[in-house]
Chains A and B, each alone.
Chain A
Amino acid sequence: MIWIWIAFAPILGGLVYGGERVLRARMQRRQGPPFLQPFYDMFKLLDKRTLIVHAPHALLAVAHFFALWFSVAAIFLGWNLLYIVFLHLFAQIVLILAGYSVRSAYSHLGANRELLMLVAYEPILILVAVGFYLVSGSFDIAQIVRGGGYLAQMPLLFIALLMIVPIKVKKSPFDVGEAHQEIVGGVEIEYSGMFYEFLYMARFLEYIFIYSFVFIFAGVSYALGAALVAGVFLLVNLVDNATARVHTMHMVKIIYAVAMSLAIANILWIVL
């Protein structure tokens, strides 16, 4: 059963992504794309002539996708949270190296921003993992979802996590990595056809990845988990519609000043 979930993770992520586009359109009172648009896009992309800049660049996108899929699989299998965070780090670094490997200013700037985003959210993810460890006594997700009461004990860590969700799903105010108006998609720009499809699906997996963190805050109660995810999903899209993009460095500073303090305060509260 769990393997089916893992196998269909990109599709699940695609549905979330499609749903999100519909939701945002409704918020803006637009018609918006159909719910299955991500999959229509897939057929369109696969049908196109594939142009690449050079082979390693194209292959690193594939590697990024599979590494992400692997880390999402690790979440479903209930592995150690820290390992998962670092597997995800590996996937991101692969993408960043791809961005640097082409002689394109946009791709380089995008990779720079991806790197700074990584520096911003990585510590928070680890601190959240440490919080789970302190409360439940284990880093293993399988163990964590057997417990409960995380929201009551880690409210500030939950807020810290909320702050980095927009970075991961590339939503305002922290959508600097993509920033279509400024750097035309950043690292994604030099991809087309099939290889762009891999990056596109990698984005679906990012949704699953980050919302899984939200989900496990509910612990044993899956209903609460679903409610949490739905709530956060709504909130993130609401904020996305209501705010403008902040400067990359400001993003790092905001995360370090606010989210980090919240996380540290919460951990201190747990241990004292």
Chain B
Amino acid sequence: MLLTLILLPIAAAFLILFSSKYIQYFLSVAVLASGSYYSILLFTSAENVSFYLSSFFNTVIIAADIVLLLYFLYQGKKYNSLKVIVLAAVQLLLFLYIEHVSAGHSAQVVVDGITKFTIEYDTSSGHSAEIAVDELSRFMFLIINIVGGIIVLYSVRYMEDETATPRKKQLFIAAMFLFLSVMNTLVCANSLMLFFFLFEMTTLASYLLIAFRNDEVSRTNALRALWMNQIGGVVILLGVLVAVLGFGTVMFDTLLQHSGGVLFLSVALLSMAALVKGASIPFDGWLLGAMVAPTPVSAMLHSATMVKIAPYLILKLAPALGATLLGGVLSITGGLVFVTASYLALSRFVFKEILGYSTVALLGLMMALAAIGTKESMMLAMVLMGFHALSKALLFLAAGVLEKQYHLKSIEEMSALVHRAPKTVGYILLGFVSLTLPPFGLFMGKLFAITSVASLLRERPLLLIVLVSMIIGSALLVLLYFKVSSALLSNPSDTLSAEEERIPYGFSLPLILLSVLIVGTGAGFIVIQHDALLALLALPLIFVFVLPWIMRGMERYDRTEPYHCGEKEPFDTALIYYEPTIRVKQMIYWSFTLLFAAVAVVGALS
């Protein structure tokens, strides 16, 4: 099953290169269906599996890694970016050094060299398997294959309207498929070196797909995304180096079994990579810049799946974090990122950038919860991850519809959009509501998170910072989303009949699927809580369903025009923006850079 999840997208990616439009649809539906089926099957099987990779395969990965780093080096040279060159060179040197050191340290267990994979349950001592599927991986499979699959399906339709050569379009969809496979492997990598390779692959995917439109802005932003993510690569390698020198292991599980010594330094360095990948401030620049990419890329890489590596990695490291000072610093960083990014989003007017910033914010919250490291908070981090993937994918795909059908990007141009595109606005509102209000999943996650953190306050007073950030950040996000809604909803009286809006099936099917999933999983989440009161939170929602019936009864009331204080011309209202002054902004960035450094310092000292 695991192999299907990894190999099927690769096969589909290959086939896409030779297929026409209809076969592309067929392939993406097939991958979505089988991916969802197998990931659900794996999730329910509740069985931890691990694989050894043959030494041949390990060598291939090492070679691929070197090629990849050389490619980054070449790109840096080609586009004259010193940062890219330096960081790629540093990574290359570190990588070779680690390979040199670790080869001497651990005795390689050579497993059958002919077949690529040999299934063996983890019984051998000393050397654990490179690939290990645990509960977390199985949960990630669900997100990657279901949400990711839906986004790929959407991107087939999206590419039809894109101005590019047919070959380039095919390559785009193939890249999306390949990316699914990379993510599927990444979330079950137990070997840090394999993890590093896949981490770099996601960086590569990010780089190539941001630069897809190949204009100047895309280029600059792609390069920025590249060098910032390379910092993540460097810290991973440093973390691995510490692990190899300190404990002689390159495996997650073996590393986390150790305690004391340089364990914290290694874990701190690895979690810094999570901060980079999650575009936490001060690295938010790359994710914001990534919004110039085609919308399926933003949805897939920069919201639903790739950036989820950040909370995933912290969750993976959480057993070592627990109640330590390092865990405290990480959760505080995450909490502060949540509130600050929510605040910064209030100054943006490009719709996708607003979504981008709120992604940064919520990733911060997930990392904070993961770093707290209690069983409950880790579970909540996963819950938030899942619901966030669904809601944000819905919002981004709706943003793509606005972009393609109405050529709208800025919320300033979106006033009275509900009149022109009622369905799309409906999806966007569902997205917003599902992120903020009861009884939807993400709201529930936040609610339980408040309860969970509050219950820890007596033992760990420092978490008060996380709690307050969580509360204020949620309020700011409410302000953000409903500020945007104000632009969408400003509407003349309903005496004017709205035009019929037609969303092409290729767009509406993924949107419907996601909406159904949001409502369904949200309801399911409430049911499994076994809390009758909680179910009652859904009561106000009933009103939404009876609304159409009541609407018919409203015909009997007379209509009137809004009050304009005697003015003949109705005046428009402007949107409100809140922007920090440049000095405050600089201060914010400096403090977060210090916090980022503090993670390493705390790791080294404890």
Q: Is the CB of B560 within 8 A of A52?
A: yes
| Complex Cα–Cα for A194 and B478 (A) | 30
Q: Is the CB of B547 within 8 A of A59?
A: yes
B161 on the A face (CB < 8 A): no
- Smallest Cβ distance from B391 to chain A, in angstroms? 16
| Least CB separation from B472: chain A residue | A123
A226 on the B face (CB < 8 A): no
List the A side residues contacting B483 at CB < 8 Å: 112, 115
Q: Is the CB of A86 within 8 A of B438?
A: yes
Of A56, A139, A184, chain B has the most CB atoms within 10 Å of the CB of A56
Q: Is the CB of A52 within 8 A of B564?
A: no
List the A side residues contacting B461 at CB < 8 Å: 268, 271-272
The interface stretch among A7-15, A126-134, A171-179, A206-214 is A126-134
Q: Is the CB of B464 within 8 A of A267?
A: yes
Q: Is the CB of A133 within 8 A of B563?
A: no
A87 on the B face (CB < 8 A): yes
List the B side residues contacting A115 at CB < 8 Å: 478-479, 482-483
Number of A-B pairs, beta carbon distance below 8 Å:
171
Q: Is the CB of A126 within 8 A of B450?
A: yes
Q: Is the CB of A51 within 8 A of B450?
A: no
B437 on the A face (CB < 8 A): yes
Q: Is the CB of B540 within 8 A of A87?
A: yes
Q: Is the CB of A104 within 8 A of B437?
A: no
We find that the number of chain B residues with CB closer than 8 angstroms to chain A is: 60
List the B side residues contacting A189 at CB < 8 Å: 563
Q: Is the CB of A89 within 8 A of B478?
A: yes
Q: Is the CB of A66 within 8 A of B478?
A: no
> Known contacts A82-B447, A105-B564, A190-B562: does B533 contact A134 (CB below 8 Å)?
no
The interface stretch among B202-210, B549-557, B583-591 is B549-557
- Smallest Cβ distance from A252 to chain B, in angstroms? 10
A76 on the B face (CB < 8 A): no
- List 4 additional A-B contacts (Cβ < 8 Å) besides A83-B438, A118-B475, A264-B468: A90-B437, A91-B540, A100-B489, A123-B468
Q: Is the CB of B573 within 8 A of A83?
A: no
Q: Is the CB of A51 within 8 A of B492?
A: no
| Complex Cα–Cα for A144 and B517 (A) | 37
> Known contacts A70-B539, A90-B540, A133-B454: does B493 contact A53 (CB below 8 Å)?
yes
B19 on the A face (CB < 8 A): no
Q: Is the CB of B551 within 8 A of A56?
A: yes
A79 on the B face (CB < 8 A): yes
7 smallest beta-carbon distances between A and B, as pairs: A104-B562, A54-B494, A55-B554, A108-B573, A51-B560, A100-B486, A100-B489
What are 21 A-B contacts defined by CB distance under 8 Å? A50-B558, A56-B494, A59-B554, A63-B540, A63-B543, A83-B533, A93-B433, A93-B436, A93-B437, A97-B482, A103-B562, A112-B573, A115-B478, A116-B479, A122-B475, A123-B472, A130-B457, A134-B458, A184-B563, A268-B461, A271-B457
We find that the number of chain A residues with CB closer than 8 angstroms to chain B is: 63
Of A58, A82, A112, A272, chain B has the most CB atoms within 10 Å of the CB of A112
Q: Among A90, A105, A119, which residue has its beta carbon within 8 angstroms of that of B479?
A: A119
A29 on the B face (CB < 8 A): no
List the B side residues contacting A256 at CB < 8 Å: 472
Q: Is the CB of A268 within 8 A of B486?
A: no
List the B side residues contacting A105 at CB < 8 Å: 564, 570-573
- Smallest Cβ distance from B236 to chain A, in angstroms? 36
B491 on the A face (CB < 8 A): yes
> Known contacts A82-B451, A103-B491, A130-B454: does B476 contact A119 (CB below 8 Å)?
yes
List the B side residues contacting A30 at CB < 8 Å: none
A67 on the B face (CB < 8 A): yes
Q: Among B533, B554, B563, which residue has its beta carbon within 8 angstroms of that of A106?
A: B563
Q: Is the CB of B437 within 8 A of A89?
A: yes
Q: Is the CB of A123 within 8 A of B551?
A: no
Q: Is the CB of B492 within 8 A of A103?
A: yes
Q: Is the CB of B564 within 8 A of A100?
A: no
Q: Is the CB of B563 within 8 A of A112?
A: no
A36 on the B face (CB < 8 A): no
List the A side residues contacting B478 at CB < 8 Å: 89, 93, 115, 118-119, 122
* Interface 1/0 per residue, B555-582 and A, CB below 8 Å: 0011111111100001111001000000
List the B side residues contacting A190 at CB < 8 Å: 562-563
> Known contacts A56-B547, A118-B478: does B562 contact A102 (CB below 8 Å)?
yes
| Complex Cα–Cα for A97 and B562 (A) | 16
Q: Is the CB of A268 within 8 A of B464?
A: yes
Q: Is the CB of B543 within 8 A of A102?
A: no
Q: Is the CB of B491 within 8 A of A101?
A: yes
- Smallest Cβ distance from A98 to chain B, in angstroms? 9
List the A side residues contacting B558 at CB < 8 Å: 49-52
A109 on the B face (CB < 8 A): yes
List the B side residues contacting A123 at CB < 8 Å: 468, 471-472, 475
Q: Is the CB of B491 within 8 A of A102?
A: yes
- Smallest Cβ distance from B202 to chain A, in angstroms? 35
| Complex Cα–Cα for A87 and B537 (A) | 7
| Complex Cα–Cα for A254 and B534 (A) | 34
A37 on the B face (CB < 8 A): no
A201 on the B face (CB < 8 A): no
List the A side residues contacting B494 at CB < 8 Å: 54-56
List the B side residues contacting A112 at CB < 8 Å: 483, 486, 573, 576
> Known contacts A52-B560, A102-B562: does B464 contact A86 (CB below 8 Å)?
no
B485 on the A face (CB < 8 A): yes
B34 on the A face (CB < 8 A): no
Q: Among B489, B543, B551, B570, which residue has its beta carbon within 8 angstroms of that of A101?
A: B489
List the B side residues contacting A93 at CB < 8 Å: 433, 436-437, 478, 482
> Known contacts A108-B486, A111-B486, A118-B475: does B573 contact A86 (CB below 8 Å)?
no
B227 on the A face (CB < 8 A): no
Q: Is the CB of B573 within 8 A of A109?
A: yes
Of A82, A123, A272, chain B has the most CB atoms within 10 Å of the CB of A123
